[in-house]
């Protein structure tokens, strides 16, 4: 096993780090940079996007032929971690959710014509996108087999009726990937899901509400959508009829892992803020950093972050080998979601009252981090997946090959 980074990955890491330090962190520190939903103002985001493109740090996950950097998953792990040293970082490099997952999914499964129409504008940064799968009860959530939104064939079109909720970015997105049921019979519960593409300007659907939440929000928030006769031409269907679940798995594996890559960067930043405070602050005659109990606390988080990095790198490496890495991605997702939460909670505690204030980004990250155990599969569901693998493989579960 060789953990040496390629020269290219190390070079990019340093350039992303410098870009974040020079251009992104100063904006993050200025309260005027935030919109009403606590994210970077769109005009500032767009200025930074122009700079990131000019610096050759744009769309790391996309092929060079489409204007990206064509990085492997292992190289992306390095890039994304550094990008998310700032909470504003990933969106400036066009590697933030949900566009990140949508782009890589379209790149993998869309036809050439679909890529030109639906993918290229997201890569170029001229539109944002959403992925609409989750539904209110009795529809699909953790179990996509419960999806109720219907797509009924009418000639060469599909007519969509149903409801979705918690759809990230929907309030600003133009390009949507939608998961719907193309066969209502109960025995076809899992097989007859199909993915479609639609444009926000099409009639027959609406945003019912932008759902209030602990926030902070991605651009476009999380929204509830209603479909009441949206018509989608058959040529905007992704993959074959009945391939929806397969498409979901293709999208969600790498998307979950890139969440981990970003969250590790955020967790490291929390440590950085904690370390700076305890290095200066004194109490009862000594620096906080010199107290063994403080050292044990910081050491434990550093240890958890490194475990998360190894799990993430291992899963990234397996994906690069063409493996779906389901077990490895689930392990990384469970651990890194917990680690992000632990890192920010620890950093708040070590900063005392300052940690609870809005003088640092810690309270922002704390609220954001709570969603990590829910999005792209609740931690319990990923543990269920691991238990299934263990039940099937026994001690072969831990095979390296
Ligand atoms: C900030 C945010 C952004 C999101 N963005 C999107 C998006 O862009 N597109 C989209 O389609 N969805 C999105 N979601 C929805 C998210 O993917 C779902 O919330 C998640 O998959 C869980 O589904 P659910 O909420 O229906 O929970 P449910 O399925 O109702 O489950 C509720 C809880 O039950 C427990 N549970 C469920 N199954 C099991 C099990 N097998 N074993 C043990 N316990 C279990 C878990 O604790 C789980 O949290 C987003 C959610 C949030 C919070």
Q: Give the pLDDT of residue 380.
A: 98
User: Is 70 exceeded by the pLDDT of residue 186?
Assistant: no
| Rounded Cα distance, 178 and 292, in Å | 52
Q: Give the pLDDT of residue 185.
A: 73
| Residue 248 Cβ < 6 Å to ligand 1 | no
| Rounded Cα distance, 200 and 223, in Å | 13
Q: Give the pLDDT of residue 188.
A: 62
| Residue 167 Cβ < 6 Å to ligand 1 | yes
In the reported structure, the alpha carbon of residue 303 is separated from the centroid of ligand 1 by a whole-number distance in angstroms of 28
- For the CA of 134, the closest atom of ligand 1 is 11
User: Is 90 exceeded by the pLDDT of residue 354?
Assistant: yes
Average pLDDT rounded to a whole number, residues 385-401 = 95
Testing ligand 1's pocket by substitution, the residue of 374, 377, 383 carrying the most ligand atoms inside 8 A of its CB is 374
CB 259 within 8 A of CB 100: no
| Rounded Cα distance, 376 and 57, in Å | 26
Average pLDDT rounded to a whole number, residues 310-316 = 98
Residue 158: strand pairing partners: 153, 232
| Rounded Cα distance, 341 and 371, in Å | 10
CB 196 within 8 A of CB 178: yes
Strand 150-154 relative to strand 157-168: parallel, antiparallel, unpaired?
antiparallel
| Residue 131 Cβ < 6 Å to ligand 1 | yes
Output the CA angle 88-100-79, nearest 5 degrees: 60
User: Is 90 exceeded by the pLDDT of residue 273?
Assistant: yes
User: Is 90 exceeded by the pLDDT of residue 270?
Assistant: yes
User: Is 70 exceeded by the pLDDT of residue 336?
Assistant: yes
pLDDT class of 190 with cuts at 50, 70, 90: low
> To which residue do tokens 């930074």 refer?
48
In the reported structure, the alpha carbon of residue 382 is separated from the centroid of ligand 1 by a whole-number distance in angstroms of 11
Residues 6+ apart with CB under 8 A from 40: 27, 28, 33, 34, 48, 88, 91, 92
The token duo for 344 is: 């920010």
CA distances from 346 to 3, 28, 157, 272, 340 (A): 29, 21, 53, 12, 10
Using a pLDDT cut of 70, give the percent of the chain over it: 99
Q: 203: how many CB neighbours lie within 10 A of its CB? A: 9
Using a pLDDT cut of 90, give the percent of the chain over it: 95
Q: Is 65 exposed, middle or buried (0-12, 13-18, 19+ CB in 10 A)?
A: exposed
Write down all domains in the chain, each with its CATH number in brackets. 7-112 (1.10.540.10), 129-242 (2.40.110.10), 245-398 (1.20.140.10)
User: Is 80 exceeded by the pLDDT of residue 187?
Assistant: no
pLDDT class of 244 with cuts at 50, 70, 90: very high
> To which residue do tokens 């953790």 refer?
142
In the reported structure, the alpha carbon of residue 375 is separated from the centroid of ligand 1 by a whole-number distance in angstroms of 6
Testing ligand 1's pocket by substitution, the residue of 148, 164, 166, 379 carrying the most ligand atoms inside 8 A of its CB is 166
Average pLDDT rounded to a whole number, residues 251-255 = 92
Strand 237-238 relative to strand 222-233: parallel, antiparallel, unpaired?
unpaired
Q: What is the overall mean pLDDT for the chain?
A: 96
Could you tell me the maximum CA-CA distance found in the chain, to the nearest angstrom?
A: 80
In the reported structure, the alpha carbon of residue 273 is separated from the centroid of ligand 1 by a whole-number distance in angstroms of 31
Q: Give the pLDDT of residue 1.
A: 80
Average pLDDT rounded to a whole number, residues 342-356 = 98
């Amino acid at each position: 096993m060789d953990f040496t980074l390629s020269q290219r990955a190390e070079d990019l890491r340093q350039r992303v780090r410098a870009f974040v330090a020079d251009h992104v962190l100063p904006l993050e520190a200025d309260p005027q940079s935030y919109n009403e939903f606590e994210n970077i103002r769109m005009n500032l985001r767009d200025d930074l996007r122009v700079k990131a493109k000019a610096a050759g740090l744009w769309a790391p996950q996309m092929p060079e032929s489409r204007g990206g950097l064509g990085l492997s998953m292992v190289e992306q792990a390095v890039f994304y971690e550094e990008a998310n040293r700032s909470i504003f970082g990933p969106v400036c490099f066009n590697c933030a959710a949900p566009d990140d997952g949508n782009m890589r999914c379209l790149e993998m499964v869309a036809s050439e014509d679909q890529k030109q129409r639906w993918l290229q504008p997201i890569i170029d940064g001229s539109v944002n996108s959403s992925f609409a799968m989750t539904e209110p009860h009795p529809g699909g959530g953790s179990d996509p087999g419960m999806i109720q939104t219907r797509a009924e064939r009418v000639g060469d079109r599909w007519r969509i009726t149903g409801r979705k909720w918690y759809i990230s970015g929907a309030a600003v997105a133009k390009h949507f990937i939608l998961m719907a049921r193309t066969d209502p019979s109960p025995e076809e519960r899992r097989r007859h899901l199909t993915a479609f593409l639609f444009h926000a300007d099409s009639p027959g659907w609406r945003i019912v509400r932008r759902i209030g939440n602990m926030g902070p929000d991605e651009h476009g928030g999380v929204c509830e959508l209603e479909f009441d006769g949206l018509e989608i031409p058959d040529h905007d269907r992704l993959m074959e009829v009945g391939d929806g679940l397969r498409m979901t798995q293709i999208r969600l594996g790498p998307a979950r892992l890139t969440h981990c890559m970003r969250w590790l960067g955020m967790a490291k930043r929390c440590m950085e803020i904690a370390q700076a405070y305890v290095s200066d602050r004194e109490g009862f005659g000594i620096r906080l950093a010199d107290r063994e109990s403080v050292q044990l606390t910081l050491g434990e988080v550093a240890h958890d972050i490194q475990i998360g990095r190894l799990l993430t790198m291992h899963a990234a490496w397996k994906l690069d080998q063409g493996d779906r890495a389901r077990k490895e991605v689930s392990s990384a997702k469970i651990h890194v979601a917990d680690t992000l939460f632990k890192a920010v909670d620890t950093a708040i505690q070590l900063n005392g009252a300052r940690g609870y204030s809005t003088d640092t980004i810690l309270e922002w990250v704390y609220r954001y981090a709570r969603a990590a155990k829910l999005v792209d599969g609740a931690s319990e569901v990923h543990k269920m997946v691991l238990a299934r693998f263990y039940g099937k493989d026994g001690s072969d579960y831990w095979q390296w090959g």
